[in-house]
Structure 1
């Protein structure tokens, strides 16, 4: 009787462990793209904690306001370089495309309509 109960518990445990393993593997595939950004977010949050505490003291204990100010400041500092670098990348990519195609043409001098 005990042997049958033991085998039943072993099978149930093996199935549960197998399903748990499958769930962990499947979840990892979903979570994997977010691991690096979450790690960077944690690093930045820890690095900015002293500044957050100073802003919180300046705003008389309003932590939410300090977080909003810090977030807006971060956005103002990061967005312009991203936009500029995207524009530079597009210009360089177009220049390389033109150079590789060999369709380089330089417009000749134009004579004004007043002559």
Structure 2
């Protein structure tokens, strides 16, 4: 029948609950995997990172942090790809104009 009722929308997917992560002793893991010097250096590096991206700092927002982190990546991508993109688009436009003039 053309005028039959529409099928009901599918139920949204709900992920099954996750089991809690196993408990671990951070000091025990650090003792068995790395030495004191390496653990100290890693802790210092993570401390510096945490201080650098701490929110909010002087009105700094997550958007500000993301912008700062993406700027060098975007610059690198543009440096690598923009000349080729511009050349291709200019060539397309030249061909389009030339076809329009009957050349």
Shorter-normalised TM-score: what interval?
Answer: 0.3 to 0.5
Greater relative contact order, per chain length (Cα 8 Å cut-off, separation 6+): 1
What TM-score comes out, normalization by structure 1 length?
A: 0.30
What TM-score comes out, normalization by structure 2 length?
A: 0.33
Question: Rg bigger for which structure?
Answer: 1
Q: When you count helix as a share of all residues, which structure comes out higher?
A: 1
